[in-house]
Amino acid sequence: MQISLNELAHLLSGEVVGDGSQMVHTVAKIEEGFEGALSFLANAKYEPYLYTTQSTAVLVNKTFQPTSNYATTLIKVEDAYAAFTFLLEKFSNVSQELVGIENQSFVDSSAKLAKDIYIGAYSYVSAEVSIGEGSKIYPQVYLGKGVKVGKNTILYPGVKIYYDCEIGDNCIIHGGTIIGSDGFGFAPLADKTYKKIPQTGNVIIENDVEIGANCTVDRATLGSTYVRQGVKLDNMVQVAHNADVGAHTVMASQSGVAGSSKVGPYCVVGGQVGIGGHITVAEGSQFGGQSGVLASISTPNGKWFGTPAFDVKDNLRSTAIFRKLPQLLKRVEELEKEIKQLKG
């Protein structure tokens, strides 16, 4: 990237405050800035770095008002974080350059391949697979029989998609993730052993989904496991058989959804949150890290924390009281002693 600040501001519908003729050629954190770099400021706790940064320019919100002198040039935009993300997408997407089928990959003759796709070495494309236009299949990816991959989707190295699963358009799945492995289904027998229940369904991942590294989304026992449009899963997230993760929900690392549970749209799930089986979570619910969701939640847009999870404000009040328990216990013991003396 080599662009003047005036050109950059025009691209972002922003306003230059300073010398717009200066050039930038890369991006950098505001606290690690240097000449020729573009940074951004969206979080108020990083504001002190604005006054010391060596970056040539910094993207800020239009409403931002500096409180001290600064040496950099500002580009004021509606949303600095969104503008910076747009620039990263525009100038850093090297995957767009990859086209063609590399040697040492296997593609079954019955597979349907659209134009401008990429298939890396040591990838395996099984019978009846279809891959949409512009999709990128990196090395060592496995696509089982009948898998469908939509347009402009990226599967990074080591992704495994089991048979009959469907991946939508504009998805990104990172290395080591497995889609469509068997759900955890076992029937207890009279002799206390377990018999495996066949998992005959599939997984359907809708459009615009991003799944981090080393995640698992299990196939359904019957029907489908769903990851709906716009969902974002962090690394090491587990979605169990027949679960349904609602549109535009985000889930942080090491969280999991147990079998047959339905998580509503626009939910925010913190790290290491466990959502129990066969429950329903209302739209817009937010869960603090390490919460345990053991029962259905019907109230939309609530904030929950703890195990079992309950309203976050009540949880904080309870925590404050819990911290005082040693003092309260000591006071009760003193009162009991006084009562005993009075009785005597």
List active site positions: 241
Q: Is 86 helix (H, G, I), strand (E, B) or coil?
A: helix
Contact of 229 with 245, CB cutoff 8 Å = no
Sign of CA dihedral 184, 190, 191, 192: positive
Classify strands 310-311 and 303-305 as parallel, antiparallel or unpaired.
Answer: antiparallel
Contact of 74 with 58, CB cutoff 8 Å = yes
Which 8-state DSSP code applies to residue 297?
Answer: B
> Which amino acid, one-letter code, is at 15?
E
Residues with Cβ < 8 Å from 203, sequence gap 6 or more? 162, 165, 166, 179, 180, 217, 218, 219, 220, 224, 225, 226, 227
What does the block give as tokens for 222? 């019957």
Q: Is 135 helix (H, G, I), strand (E, B) or coil?
A: coil
What is the CA angle 274-276-281, rounded to 5? Answer: 90
